[in-house]
Amino acid sequence: MNYTYRNIWLINFPVMMSILIEQLINITDAIFLGHVGEIELGASALAGIWYLAIYMLGFGFSLGLQVVIARRNGERNYYETGKTFFQGLLFLSVLAILLCIISKIFSPIVLGRLIASEEVYAAVIDYLDWRIWGLLFSFPFLALRSFLVGTTLTKPLNKAALAAVMVNIPCNWLFIFHFDMGIAGAAMASSFAELCSLAILSVHILRKMDRQAYGLKWQFDRKILHHVCRVSNWSMFNQFIGVASWFAFFVAVEHLGEMELAATNVIRSISTLFFVIVNSLAATTGSLVGNLLGAGQKNLVLPLCNRVIRMGYAVGGPLIILSIICFNPIFSIYSGNGDLMRTAHLPFVVALLNYVFALPGYVYMNAVTGTGATRTTFIFQAATIIAYQIYLWSVSCFSTSLSVYWTAEYLYVILLGVLSVIYLKNKGY
């Protein structure tokens, strides 16, 4: 089971498209809201990150679910993959309902204490009132994606990604401008797009998969669910605290001013396209590592990681250079405000160049996750975030430069990568 560059790319590309679903939804929201006003543009950043932090609880569980499914697939125990998938689907569906209720009650209380601008706060709540219901669609989608990625049958993810984008763009225009719903319209369009992508994958599983061979039938198995939860609980909190620290970054920037917050949202939105490459390759690495270990090929784990990193540089490097050169026309898609563009220019370059360190950092971290050592990745993440927050606090004490704030991301991914490599080598991978 020696994965070539071609094998990795064919497995990764649909994964990249599926991750692009969530990111293109956020990007589309930012583009449309950039033409509504700076308040709405900045508020969508805070609201989007808050929603993403909650979403990451489900995403983290799906990573653990994917690890277990990949291990069973590598062992050629296909019937158990389906049974494992259904335990994950049940858990994620219940979790989505609970998180929707909790968010509706506590989000206004918490955000009211964190956000300085009353106008930004009001816009954030308007967005979340509609956006949070998207969890009811995105969490079951995550379970389906974990099954497809874990079994390396990833092609249907392309159709789901395309459907979400094709629905989200016209719905954004319709709800934001035609029905004059503003930021709430962007949230409604995003949730509806997630519903459509879920429908696409559900139809594929029901009609195209060999349900008998893969054990695809409703059945509750407490033992399997307990095992999946044991693997997943650390990755859940790992992903959550990762985005929670990102939210803290945006709160710190919001205190610099509404212009800086709006600029940061555009930078995040554009840079997200490149970090989709990072995240997809990292997720693919975790799945392939699980398959390698299931097949008893422990010695191929680090060579696989290095191959994935080289591929990531080859794909992303030229695109990043082109984007830095073409900053003005790219930024003008979001806003024609000259002051906003000048504020964002240097921080944009700093943010994109972080790709060089983020790619190996996330690939090696997900390789550790793929071995099933999710508790270890949580410890690494927690230690890294403490260092990140100390650095961010230190920066806020002596600098108001947005570019300096963005250097905190370098510290985060470098530490994560170093800790992960040390672990993998010490374990003999």
Residue 33 domain boundaries = 5-426
Residue 78 has pLDDT above 90, yes or no: no
Residue 43 has pLDDT above 70, yes or no: yes
Residue of 235, 182, 224 whose CA lies nearest to 35: 182
Rounded Cα distance between 292 and 143, Å, is: 22
pLDDT number for residue 367: 92
Alpha helices in 333-401 (DSSP H): 338-353, 355-370, 374-398
Residue 344 has pLDDT above 90, yes or no: no
Residue 98 has pLDDT above 90, yes or no: yes
Please enumerate in sequence order all residues whose Cβ is within 8 A of that of 235, keeping only pairs 6 or more positions apart, or say none: 60, 61, 63, 64, 67, 369, 374, 377, 378
- Check if the beta carbon of residue 202 is closer than 8 Å to that of residue 45: no
Choose from 152-161, 229-238, 346-355, 367-376 the range with maximum mean pLDDT.
346-355
What average pLDDT does the chain have? Answer: 86
Rounded Cα distance between 352 and 317, Å, is: 10
Rounded Cα distance between 370 and 116, Å, is: 41
C-alpha distances (whole Å) from 204 to each of 103, 148, 158, 159, 401 are 32, 11, 12, 10, 49
Query: In total, how many domains does the chain have?
Result: 1
Residue 22 has pLDDT above 70, yes or no: no
Percent of the chain with pLDDT over 70: 99
pLDDT number for residue 2: 67
Residue 176: which H helix or E strand, with range?
A: none
pLDDT number for residue 58: 92
Q: What is the mean pLDDT of residues 219-236?
A: 85
Helix, strand, or coil (residue 411): helix
Rg (CA), the chain: 21
